[in-house]
Amino acid sequence: MGKNPVCVLAQFKTTKALYHACERVRDEGYVKFDAHSPFPIHGLDRAMGLKPSKVPWIVLILGLLGAAGGMGMQLWMNGVDYPMIFSAKPYFSWQAYVPITFELGVLFGSAGAVFGMLGLNQLPRLNHPVFNSKAFSTHAADDGFFLSIETKDANYDEVRTSKLLEGLGALQVEHLKE
């Protein structure tokens, strides 16, 4: 039973080479590719053609839902479920509700940030094929700059993709299997 190819991994010498390779791969129409570097490279997301993250919208929506839920919960408890008048204050005394409303907004927003990031990044992923590469395991955390293109990409062709990466100055091109 043979193992199926999952991605092609190319190693580059410098950050500049990786940056230009990402631009070229994006311009060739590849969508399912990723860059691996031991440190952040300014502008690499733009070179890869990545869209802005959806996480801030998830945080905003869940934060507002948490705040609305906190305000609604207090309104229900103090005005409908168990109404009591203290010191001639009305049932809806919003000033007293601010701390709990704020805290529930922060709680739901932070939960949205964590779970939104995990969901959008498809985590936890316990194993990725690039970890099977000897070059990746020895250089990725120190001085290696890698570009991986998945075989699921519509433009992927084993020979054409390998030639593209070699033409971009890759030090080595490796086909990884499951």
Write out pLDDT tens, residues 118-129. 999 989 988 888
In terms of CATH architecture, what is 5-50+136-177? Answer: 2-Layer Sandwich (3.30)
The confidence band for 91, taking pLDDT boundaries of 50, 70 and 90, is confident
pLDDT for the residue 2: 57
Mean per-residue pLDDT, 134-162: 94
CB-count exposure of residue 30 (10 Å: 0-12, 13-18, 19+): buried
pTM: 0.80
Residue spans of the domains in the chain: they are: 5-50+136-177, 55-120
Give 71-98 as a 3 state SS string. Answer: HHHHHHHHHHHCCCCCCCCCCCCHHHHH
pLDDT for the residue 1: 45
Looking at residue 9, the DSSP 8-state letter turns out to be E
Mean per-residue pLDDT, 155-176: 96
**Dist. CA 135–CA 123, nearest whole Å:** 24
Name the average pLDDT for the chain. 93
Peptide bond into 124 cis (omega under 30): yes
